[in-house]
Amino acid sequence: MSLSWLKTYMPRSLYWRGALILLLPVVVLLVVVSVVFIQRLFEDVTVQMTHNVGLEVRHMLEQVDTAPSLETALPLSQDLADAFDMNAALPDPAPVSGETRAFYDISGRMIWPTLRDEIAALQGVDLVQDDGKAELTLTTRHGPLRLEIDRDRISAKNPHQLLVIMGLTALLISLVSFLFLRNQLRPIARLAEAATAFGRGRAVVYRPSGSTEVRNAGKAFLDMRNRIERQIEQRTTMLSGVSHDLRTPLARLNLGLEMSDDPEAPAMRQDVAEMRRMLDAFLDFARDGALDDPEPVRADEICQQLLEKAVRSGMAVEAGRIDPCPPVDLRPLAVSRAVENLLVNATRYGTRARLSLIRSSGSLSFVVEDDGPGIPKADRVTAMRAFTRLDSSRNQNQGAGVGLGLAIALDVARQHGGALVLDESQDLGGLQARLVLPI
């Protein structure tokens, strides 16, 4: 039988799962001990005590029934009741019928069936009228006989005190366990926060603490973070150096072509300019993660700045839905560059572009749409790779890039712990690029 349905009701966090592991054995142990203790001790003791009282009551009934008259039976019942430490009334002024017992009277559950088996003339038992007494009504040939018996003689005391002590002790132990568990899980939570922050491009201060296993995991995370930071720094330095070194010969080539009278010089100067743009793109891609640090910024203001810049540049970009946003931690320059690359792509391959900002409960989405030919669904993952151009599916009348626009946007999204989603624009019919950033 599959138990997969349990996953729906299981807690999600490690803290509450650990608490469940702690509490479940305690609760099961309390229930089992309580049931076994009540059944094996209280019920068995009650049956034995009730059986002994039943013998006394049966002897009294035999003596009362043998009395020739009510006048003779009355003093006889009083004498026997005094001998057996009971109170008797003949006839019973208020006869009891059946069993009357409170639902929480655990030990009294066995009194009625035990007495009924012992005494055929038993008419009723009342365990509610007086907590310290058990009131019985018996049928005799002189009328109903009422007996009041001390509850201590007929049953064991109710185990309320024991159950309360067990419950309070279990509660105290559970509270201590919760505090200990919380203290043990706090280092794991700090490690998770540091890892999440690093995934969003922030290096927060983190010191390994807690148990040996958690400390080892923390040290491994710090080593990994340091290696990644060194690799990013090395990549940026290398590509920046290569781009810088290539600018010098390009400058000499451009100077030579400016002074040349060769009829092919204009075309060659365009090739040199294209190479310079490619180098600038490579440099932007290399240093994109090191442009700035996260800081509180308003995403709607970033959109307004990009729209104003697009208008000044002559780009056909219109404003869509711009949701107002409170300040959130973003890399403003990196986000601006990513969205700007998406706008450049949109205007390059289409005649009309739209920029929107949609805010949800846990994310911000910069949405760029165009009316171009779009990208087939099967090629969208490939299109986001660096240095990849899908020339067969995009219009090149407005010029070609170097295949880094979507790659830079994806890299910025990943720095913030987000994603770049490519889809079809429902309004404009072209490509829809959504830069989704968690907040």
Element (H, E) at 137: strand 133-140
- Domain termination residue (choose one: 160, 178, 194): 160
CB atoms closer than 10 angstroms to residue 55: 12
* pLDDT one digit per residue (tens) for the chain, 439 residues: 555 666 676 667 777 777 777 778 888 887 887 777 766 667 778 888 888 999 999 999 999 889 888 888 889 989 999 999 999 998 888 888 888 888 777 777 888 888 888 898 999 999 888 778 889 999 998 889 999 998 888 877 655 667 778 788 888 888 888 888 888 888 888 898 888 888 766 778 888 888 888 889 999 999 998 898 888 777 777 777 776 777 778 788 877 877 777 787 788 878 777 777 777 766 666 655 555 677 889 999 999 999 998 888 888 899 989 999 889 888 888 888 889 889 988 988 888 899 999 998 888 999 999 998 888 888 888 888 876 666 544 444 444 455 677 888 888 888 888 889 999 988 888 999 999 998 7
Same domain, 69 and 150: yes
- Domain CATH code at residue 65: 3.30.450
* Residue 196 counted as domain residue: no
- Domain termination residue (choose one: 256, 290, 324): 290
* Residue 402 counted as domain residue: yes
Same domain, 304 and 260: no
The answer, as to whether pTM is greater than 0.85, is: no
Same domain, 347 and 377: yes
Same domain, 256 and 321: no
Same domain, 420 and 305: yes
Same domain, 30 and 135: yes
Same domain, 379 and 417: yes
* Residue 183 counted as domain residue: no
Domains contained in the chain, number: 3
Domain that holds residue 428: 293-438
Same domain, 324 and 255: no
- Domain CATH code at residue 217: 1.10.287.130
16 bridge partner residues: none
- CA dist 43 to 114, 150, 156, 336, 416, Å? 11, 17, 8, 78, 66
Residue 266 burial (10 A CB sphere; 0-12, 13-18, 19+)? exposed
- Domain CATH code at residue 377: 3.30.565.10
For residue 214, give the nearest of 187, 183, 181 by alpha carbon: 187
Same domain, 271 and 335: no
Decide if 328 contacts 299 (C-beta within 8 A).
yes
* Residue 202 counted as domain residue: no
